[in-house]
C-alpha cells in the first residue's frame, strides 16, 4: 500500500496545532509554578520600587546643596527609613536599597566623601547626572502594569517578578495527561534479560523523559505486542488521557497495526506521512471522549532517532499549544558548518550534529537506529529538500535540542 503523498512539515505542524484545545485554568502557588505557562496576563498589584531608593552606599543631600560641608543628622537603612527632614548643609547616611529622605535628591558615594565625626566634605566626584545613584519610584513597574504576558513559561526570574508584583498565586493551564505506548514483538521489557532476537524497549522511556520536560502527567504503557487486541487494550488504558503517543507500528508493513487499531478503537485519522527524513510515517488522529473534549493521538515511527525527531517536531509543539504557550514551535539559529554535507533529495532532512556555540559538526553516523550518535548530539541540522551539497564554512540552520528548542 503506497499511502497518501507526504505533506510538507509546516503544513503538518499547522494541521496538528489547529487541533489543540486549551486546557482548563487553575491557580497554583507561585513557588510551585516553575515550568508552567501563564493562562492570563499578569498585572502588578503594587509599584516597584514603591518609593525612591538609593542604588549605592553613600550620603543623601538636597539636590541643590552640592558644595558642602554637610552635617550628618541621621541614617536611612534598608527597611529602616529616615523619618526626619533635611535642610541645606545636612546629610543622611544611606545604604543601598534604603528609602531616600523626603527632601533628598542626590546620593554622593561614600568613597567620594571624607568624614570626621558627623562632618563630611567632598573629596571626589559628584554624581553626573545628580540622580545617577537613585532608583526612582516605579522604575521596575507600577501598579496595574502588565508584567508578564499570557503564554509565558514561568522561570526563576518570573517567579521573583510575580512575587514582587504582589501575587501569591498564578493562573496556569492544568497539566495534560499523556500516555506513551511503544509497541512491537521485538521489544524486551527488561534490558538485562533481553534475548538475541529482541532489543530493549527504550523509546517509551525516552519519550516520557522528553515530554516530562514540560508540565505534564506522563505514563508509559508497554511494550505492547503486535496484535490489534493488545493495541486496543493499551488505547483503552489511556482512554482518559489528553494525548496518546505511540512509537512503532505507524508504517505500512504487515505488522504495523497502529492505524487499523486506532480505526477500530473509534479514532479518526487526520493526516499520515510527512515529507521529512527521518520520520516520514508519522500519523495524527483524534477521538472524541465520552467525558468531553478531543483526544489527540500522535503515532511516531519505531526507529529511535525517527521517534525522537518527530516527537521534537510534533509532540512537544502540540503539548505547548495545549498548555497555552505563546510559542509552540521550536526556534532555529544559523551557524557555521564544520564539515561537509551531501546534497539532499526530495525530502527535508534533519541530521544530528554537535554545536559548540560557534560551529556545528555533523555526526558521522546518521542511521535512524543509531542511539549513540543521537545521544552525542545537541542540535538537528535542518537540510531543506533539494539543498545542494554544503562545505566547511557554509551557513546552516539548526534546531537546538536542549529544552525542546524553546529558550
- Rounded Cα–Cα distance for residues 247 and 256 (Å): 11
Cell of 370: 543509531
* Confidence (pLDDT) at 303: 94
- Lowest mean pLDDT, pick from 107-116, 181-190, 245-254, 331-340: 245-254
Question: pLDDT (tens digit, 9 = 90+) per residue, 191-209?
Answer: 999 999 999 989 999 999 9
| pLDDT band of 351, cuts 50, 70, 90 | very high
Asked if 405 contacts 355 with a C-beta cutoff of 8 angstroms, the reply is: no
- Lowest mean pLDDT, pick from 76-85, 269-278, 397-406: 397-406
**Peptide linkage before 89 cis (omega within 30 of 0):** no
Q: Which residues pair with 398 in a beta bridge?
A: 333, 381
Q: Look at residue 133 and tell me whether its pLDDT is greater than 90.
A: yes
Residue listed under C-alpha cell 546534497: 343
Cell of 136: 526612582
Q: Please state the CATH superfamily assignment of the domain spanning residues 26-48+140-173 in this structure.
A: Molybdopterin biosynthesis moea protein, domain 2 (3.90.105.10)
**Peptide linkage before 173 cis (omega within 30 of 0):** no
- Lowest mean pLDDT, pick from 137-146, 286-295, 315-324, 355-364: 286-295
- Rounded Cα–Cα distance for residues 379 and 402 (Å): 8
Asked if 329 contacts 318 with a C-beta cutoff of 8 angstroms, the reply is: no
Q: Which residues pair with 99 in a beta bridge?
A: 53
Residue listed under C-alpha cell 503523498: 5
| pLDDT band of 404, cuts 50, 70, 90 | confident
* Confidence (pLDDT) at 292: 83
Question: pLDDT (tens digit, 9 = 90+) per residue, 17-69?
Answer: 999 998 999 999 999 999 999 999 999 999 999 999 999 999 999 998 998 89
Question: pLDDT (tens digit, 9 = 90+) per residue, 239-298?
Answer: 999 999 999 876 655 457 899 999 999 999 999 999 999 999 999 999 998 888 899 999
Q: Please state the CATH superfamily assignment of the domain spanning residues 9-24+174-322 in this structure.
A: MoaB/Mog-like domain (3.40.980.10)
Q: What is the mean pLDDT of residues 114-138?
A: 95
Domain boundaries, the chain: 9-24+174-322, 26-48+140-173, 53-135, 332-405
| pLDDT band of 148, cuts 50, 70, 90 | very high
Name which of 189, 185, 159, 58 is nearest 114 in CA terms.
58
pTM reported for the whole predicted model? 0.91
Q: What is the mean pLDDT of residues 146-151?
A: 98
* Confidence (pLDDT) at 364: 95
* Confidence (pLDDT) at 219: 97
Name which of 255, 247, 240, 257 is nearest 279 in CA terms.
247
Q: What is the distance, to the nearest Å, from the Cα of residue 397 to the centroid of all Cα atoms in its chain?
A: 20
- What kind and span of H or E run contains 116? strand 113-116
Contacts of 130 (CB under 8 A, 6+ apart): 63, 66, 105, 106
- Rounded Cα–Cα distance for residues 301 and 250 (Å): 6
- Write down the CATH number for the domain with range 53-135: 2.170.190.11
Mean pLDDT of the chain: 94
| pLDDT band of 2, cuts 50, 70, 90 | low
- What kind and span of H or E run contains 380? strand 379-383
Cell of 107: 546620593
One of 3.30.70.1350, 2.60.40.10, 2.40.340.10, 1.10.10.60 is the CATH number of 332-405, namely 2.40.340.10
Number of Cβ atoms within 10 Å of the Cβ of 148: 19
Q: Please report, in angstroms and rounded to a whole number, the separation of the first and last CA atoms in the chain.
A: 41
Amino acid at each position: 500500500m503506497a499511502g497518501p503523498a507526504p505533506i510538507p512539515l509546516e503544513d503538518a505542524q499547522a494541521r496538528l496545532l489547529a487541533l489543540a484545545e486549551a486546557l482548563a485554568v487553575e491557580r497554583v502557588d507561585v513557588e510551585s509554578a516553575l515550568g508552567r505557562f501563564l493562562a492570563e496576563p499578569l498585572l502588578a498589584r503594587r509599584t516597584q520600587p514603591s518609593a525612591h531608593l538609593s542604588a549605592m552606599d553613600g550620603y543623601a543631600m538636597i539636590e541643590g546643596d552640592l558644595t558642602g560641608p554637610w552635617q550628618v543628622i541621621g541614617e536611612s537603612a534598608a527597611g529602616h527609613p529616615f523619618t526626619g527632614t533635611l535642610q541645606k548643609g545636612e546629610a543622611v547616611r544611606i545604604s543601598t536599597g534604603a528609602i531616600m529622605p523626603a527632601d533628598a535628591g542626590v546620593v554622593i558615594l561614600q568613597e567620594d566623601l571624607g568624614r570626621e565625626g558627623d562632618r563630611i566634605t567632598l573629596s571626589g566626584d559628584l554624581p553626573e547626572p545628580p540622580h545617577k545613584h537613585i532608583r526612582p519610584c516605579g522604575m521596575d513597574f507600577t501598579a496595574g502594569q502588565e508584567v508578564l504576558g499570557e503564554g509565558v513559561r514561568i522561570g526563576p526570574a518570573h517567579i521573583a517578578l510575580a512575587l514582587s508584583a504582589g501575587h501569591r498565586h498564578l493562573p496556569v493551564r492544568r497539566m495534560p495527561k499523556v500516555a506513551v505506548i511503544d509497541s512491537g514483538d521485538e521489544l524486551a521489557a527488561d534490558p538485562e534479560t533481553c534475548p538475541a532476537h529482541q532489543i530493549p524497549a527504550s523509546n517509551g522511556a525516552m519519550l516520557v523523559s522528553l515530554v516530562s520536560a514540560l508540565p505534564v502527567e506522563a505514563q508509559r504503557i508497554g511494550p505492547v505486542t503486535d496484535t490489534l487486541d493488545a493495541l486496543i487494550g493499551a488505547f483503552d488504558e489511556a482512554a482518559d488521557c489528553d494525548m496518546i503517543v505511540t512509537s512503532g507500528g505507524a508504517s505500512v508493513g504487515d505488522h504495523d497495526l497502529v492505524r487499523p487499531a486506532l480505526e477500530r478503537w473509534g479514532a479518526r485519522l487526520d493526516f499520515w506521512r510527512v515529507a521529512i527524513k527521518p520520520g516520514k510515517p508519522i500519523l495524527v488522529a483524534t477521538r472524541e471522549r465520552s467525558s468531553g473534549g478531543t483526544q489527540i493521538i500522535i503515532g511516531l515511527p519505531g526507529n529511535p532517532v525517527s521517534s525522537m525527531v518527530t516527537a521534537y517536531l510534533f509532540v512537544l509543539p502540540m503539548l505547548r499549544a495545549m498548555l497555552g504557550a505563546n510559542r509552540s514551535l521550536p526556534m532555529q539559529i544559523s551557524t557555521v558548518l564544520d564539515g561537509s554535507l551531501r546534497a539532499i533529495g526530495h525530502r527535508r532532512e534533519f541530521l544530528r550534529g554537535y554545536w559548540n556555540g560557534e560551529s556545528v559538526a555533523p555526526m558521522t553516523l546518521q542511521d535512524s537506529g543509531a542511539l549513540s550518535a543521537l545521544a552525542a548530539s545537541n542540535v538537528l541540522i535542518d537540510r531543506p529538500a533539494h539543498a545542494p551539497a554544503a562545505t566547511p564554512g557554509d551557513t546552516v540552520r539548526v534546531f537546538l535540542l536542549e529544552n525542546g528548542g524553546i529558550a
